[in-house]
């Protein structure tokens, strides 16, 4: 099934309140989306659940190569995605993981933990499934999380370019 259709279906179920907690979001949304993006969700050295960091556990580590995290995904209760920003970015920063995703199923925020600025400054993009069509949401998720793009470093490079471009614009506005 194309990702666009999957996301439209997920959005309908979100609106119906069918994902009441973190576990339901992890299983019914996150793993399903990752599978559609080319991740082998059954291989736990690739999509590592409850990855232990020095400070705690992150819900998922997307690994490339196997057992070496490239992306941390932190899943939160519905409506509480932003509650985990500090924790997730600190886990990633101390572990050397360059990219973090925070989600409650509905919103997906993409962060570069090692960059400068406030937590908000380090957010590259925030996707809200209620505000975007399935097609638009699929493009965004593919840009940052598609397995091939992550393996080739393209996902992170895209995020870095977007971060730098946004920060140049905000510095220019501040100087004006």
Q: pLDDT tens-digit profile of 127-141?
A: 999 999 999 999 999
Mean pLDDT calculated for residue range 92-101:
95
- The predicted pLDDT at position 141 comes to 98
Q: Are 143 and 155 in contact (CB under 8 A)?
A: yes
Share of the chain above pLDDT 90, in %: 85
For residue 162, is pLDDT > 70?
yes
- The predicted pLDDT at position 81 comes to 86
- The predicted pLDDT at position 176 comes to 64
Backbone φ and ψ for 52, nearest 5 degrees, come out as: -85, 125
Give the span between the Cα atoms of 10 and 78, in whole angstroms.
13
For residue 174, is pLDDT > 90?
no
Mean pLDDT calculated for residue range 68-75:
97
pTM of the predicted model as reported, rounded to 2 decimal places: 0.93
Give the DSSP per-residue string, 103-158: ESSSEEEEE-TTSSS-HHHHEEEEEETTTS-HHHHHHHHHHHH-HHHHHTTHHHHH
Specify which residues 57 forms β-bridges with: 52
pLDDT digits (tens, 9 = 90+) for 16-27: 999 999 999 999
């Amino acid at each position: 099934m194309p990702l666009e259709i999957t996301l439209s279906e997920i959005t309908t179920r979100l609106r119906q309140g069918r994902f009441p907690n973190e576990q339901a979001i992890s299983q019914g949304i996150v793993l399903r989306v990752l599978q559609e993006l080319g991740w082998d969700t059954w291989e736990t050295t690739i999509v590592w659940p409850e990855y232990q960091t020095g400070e705690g556990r992150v819900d998922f580590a997307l690994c490339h190569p196997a057992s070496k995290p490239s992306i941390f995904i932190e899943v939160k209760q519905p409506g509480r995605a932003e509650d985990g920003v500090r924790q997730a970015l600190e886990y990633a920063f101390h572990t050397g993981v360059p990219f973090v995703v925070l989600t409650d199923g509905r919103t997906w925020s993409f962060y570069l933990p090692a960059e400068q600025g406030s937590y908000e400054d380090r957010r590259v993009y925030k996707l809200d499934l209620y505000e975007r069509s399935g097609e638009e949401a699929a493009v965004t998720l593919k840009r940052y999380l598609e397995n091939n793009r992550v393996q080739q470093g393209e996902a992170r490079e895209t995020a870095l370019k977007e971060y730098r471009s946004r920060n140049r614009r905000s510095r220019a506005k501040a100087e004006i």
